[in-house]
Amino acid sequence: MDVLQCIEPSVNYILCHLDDQYSLEDMIQHLYHQSILIRDCSHYTGLGPNWFRIAVKTREQNEQLLQALRAYFTL
Q: What is the CATH number of the domain that holds 42?
A: 3.90.1150.10
Total domains, the chain: 1
| Lowest model confidence (mean pLDDT) among 1-5, 51-55, 58-62, 68-72 | 1-5
- With a CB cutoff of 8 Å and minimum separation 6, the contacts of 6 are 14, 15, 16, 17
Angle between helices 24-32 and 59-73 (to 10 degrees): 130
Instruction: Assign 2 a pLDDT band (cuts: 50, 70, 90).
Output: confident
Q: What's the predicted TM-score (pTM) here? A: 0.88
DSSP secondary structure letter of residue 10: S
- In three-state secondary structure terms, 13 is strand
Return the sign of the alpha-carbon dihedral for residues 30, 74, 16, 64: positive
The residue segments making up the domain with residue 66 are 4-73
Q: pLDDT by residue (tens digit) across 9-62?
A: 999 999 999 999 999 999 999 999 999 999 999 999 999 999 999 999 999 999
